[in-house]
Chains A and B, each alone.
Chain A
Amino acid sequence: MALKDHTNKPLEYQTLQSQMNILGFWIFIGAEIVLFGTLFAIYGVLGNRYAGGPTPQDIFVIRDVVIQTLLLLTSSFTVGIVIWAMRNNNLKTLIFWQIITLLLGIGFLVMEINEFIHYVNAGATLQTSAFLSSMYALLGMHGAHVTLGIGWGTGLIFQLLKRGITRETATKTHIFSLYWHFLDVVWIFVFTFVYLGGLV
């Protein structure tokens, strides 16, 4: 269902269906904001209840967290390049930067998993204290989203290779980029309030 007055718009806005899909995804993001908000609220209340266990100063390694932040921040920038390439109808550039984005995401995830292993080895487990339970819930929820995003972004590459840049695949790529940017938004707050807040 193409709208004639929209044919000069980017590919992903040319049909009413695409516009609705994108709007629908923004409504989903609204729900995600509330979901992460609840986890931040829990952490805000319980984050200083150590129950005699490790404190943030004992376990957080700021250098690793800064690297994680830069990886995710850069991947949010590269997924912007993906959209730019898509709007120039350049499939090869699109795929290249999509792969870079996902590699940065995988790098982030590997570091986060290593970080969790380091915490558990230091005696900081999910059951140790309210601080750690709420921290793992918040970080784990974010990490699960990144994991899902990597699977989603990989599937998208296969579809783009098979079908090229069409109205449908352009809409899907645009929606994926929204999701990925949103994960970076959440991480900015995790970095600020969990890590830096815990170390101040």
Chain B
Amino acid sequence: MTEKRKFPISHIVSYLLSVGLTILAVFFALGTNLERGTIMTIIGSFAVIQAGMQLFMFMNMTEGRDGWMKVTHTIYAIAMAVIFVIGTYYVMTAGHPIM
């Protein structure tokens, strides 16, 4: 490999965005007087954006001949996690005491 690859600008941008979103999340969580549900939705979306940047920008999930396989399998795993995290939370807190 004689030709040098330039360092991908997208990595630097993703890194700075991640740091920015982290600080913004701290601000929303501790520096505002919004309702808890609103804050959790906002900072939860920040987390999802950051995780997406890690998967697609840093981990290069789509590269290689079987890139689509990685994407399909990972999205499947994330879907399973979302279903049972939200499902468990819903079942265990839906209008009945579990004390």
Contact = CB atoms under 8 A, between A and B. Distances in A.
**Are A and B a genuine interacting pair, yes or no?**
yes
Interface of A: 6, 9, 13, 19, 22-23, 26-27, 29-31, 33-34, 36-38, 40-42, 44-45, 62, 66, 69-70, 73-74, 76-77, 79-81, 84, 87-89, 177-178, 181-182, 184-185, 188-189, 191-193, 196-197, 199-200
Given A188-B50, A196-B26, A81 B7 contact: yes
Interface string B42-86: 011011001100110011010111100110011011101110110
Contact of B19 (A70, A182, A185): A70
A128 B95 CA distance: 26
B26 A33 contact: no
Contacts of A197: 29, 40, 43
Given A37-B85, A81-B11, 14 more contacts: A33-B78, A45-B88, A45-B92, A66-B26, A69-B22, A87-B5, A177-B59, A181-B58, A181-B59, A185-B50, A188-B51, A188-B54, A193-B40, A200-B40
A111 to B, nearest CB: 16
Contact of B89 (A44, A62, A191): A44
A154 B50 CA distance: 27
A89 B80 contact: no
A181 B7 CA distance: 18
Contact of A182 (B23, B59, B64): B59
B53 to A, nearest CB: 10
B1 A89 contact: yes
A70 B22 contact: yes
A200 to B, nearest CB: 5
Interface of B: 1, 4-5, 7-8, 11, 15, 18-19, 22-23, 25-26, 29-30, 36, 39-40, 43-44, 46-47, 50-51, 54-55, 58-59, 61, 63-66, 69-70, 73-74, 76-78, 80-82, 84-85, 88-89, 92-93
A89 to B, nearest CB: 5
A34 B89 contact: no
A182 B58 CA distance: 10
A76 B7 CA distance: 15
Contacts of B80: 33-34, 37
Contacts of B1: 87-89
Given A41-B84, A77-B15, A84-B8, A196 B73 contact: no
19 contacts: A13-B64, A13-B65, A22-B64, A26-B73, A26-B74, A33-B77, A37-B80, A37-B84, A44-B89, A45-B89, A62-B30, A84-B5, A177-B59, A178-B59, A185-B54, A188-B50, A196-B26, A199-B30, A200-B40
A44 B66 contact: no
B78 to A, nearest CB: 6
A66 B40 CA distance: 17
